Amino acid sequence: MHLSLVCLAKPVLHGYFRSSCSWRVRIAFALKGIEYDQVPIHLIKDGGQQHTEQYKTLNPMQQVPAVEIDGITLSQSLAVIQYIDETRPGPPLLPADPKKRAQVRMISDIIASGIQPLQNLHVIQKMGTEKVQWAQHFIDRGFQALEPLLKQTAGKYCVGDEISMADICLVPQVYNAERFKVDVEQYPTIKRLNETLREIEAFRVSDPSCQPDTPEDLRA
């Protein structure tokens, strides 16, 4: 009975409106039709609320997101997405075919490990006046790898014609690229996929422009 009650409780997402990792989780929840509560963790206010002792008990890395779900706390977005996929009904976020599943994980890891960490807030705060150029360099470097890969794997979406974890990772990364003034026109496959995905309801409702902690001047 206790386990059933735990599983019935709404997940709680501790995140930040503009965090791409938090956005990935919001997209996954939306695609699966999962209701959840949000607790904003402001990454700049008060020196960064992720650094409080209270939050460190949820995520010792002092990053967002942290997700309380089914009586456990998970703190890496790809782990959260795969847990949601394995425990909740709804459209699968990883393909059944092993080769396509490996391609989805490869694309997701390129973004989540090879691009995003090098231009996230913690890193670029160390770069001073060079932060924009630094972010542009590493986003371009990653997109130069992604573009030819996606030409091979893409159908309507990143891998074939079904939405997957790769698409969940792509859209927030393109958003970051645009924030840092990267010329996305150089990457026609990435640009096409992003435009297609941004029309889907789950991607729209999870957008940084319409979250509980979105500042008024950034709301759509």
193 pLDDT higher than 60: yes
81 pLDDT higher than 60: yes
What is the mean pLDDT of the segment spanning 107-117?
97
- The owner of tokens 């995520």 is 59
At residue 6, the pLDDT reads 52
For residue 182, give the DSSP letter.
Answer: -
At residue 47, the pLDDT reads 87
What is the mean pLDDT of the segment spanning 25-51?
95
At residue 7, the pLDDT reads 59
Q: What long-range pairs does 151-157 form, CB within 8 A, spacing at least 24? A: 151/189, 153/100, 153/103, 153/107, 154/189, 154/193, 156/196, 157/193, 157/196, 157/197
Strands 66-69 vs 72-74: parallel, antiparallel or unpaired: antiparallel
What is the mean pLDDT of the segment spanning 91-96?
98
- Rounded to whole angstroms, the maximal C-alpha distance in the chain is 56
Quickly count: other Cβ atoms within 10 Å of residue 86's Cβ. 10
What is the mean pLDDT of the segment spanning 212-216?
95
What is the mean pLDDT of the segment spanning 66-89?
97
What is the mean pLDDT of the segment spanning 116-128?
87
Instruction: State the DSSP string of 137-156.
Output: HHHHHHHHHHHHHHHHHBSS
36 pLDDT higher than 60: yes
- Domains of the chain (ranges; CATH) run 2-91+207-214 (3.40.30.10), 98-204 (1.20.1050.10)
Handedness of CA 43, 119, 93, 17 (dihedral sign): positive
Q: How far apart are CA 62 and CA 53, in angstroms?
A: 9
158 pLDDT higher than 70: yes
Dig out the tokens for 49 from the structure: 């609320």
2 pLDDT higher than 50: no
Cα 151–chain centre separation: 22
Q: How far apart are CA 20 and CA 31, in angstroms?
A: 16
At 50-62, the pLDDT tens digits run 999 999 999 999 9
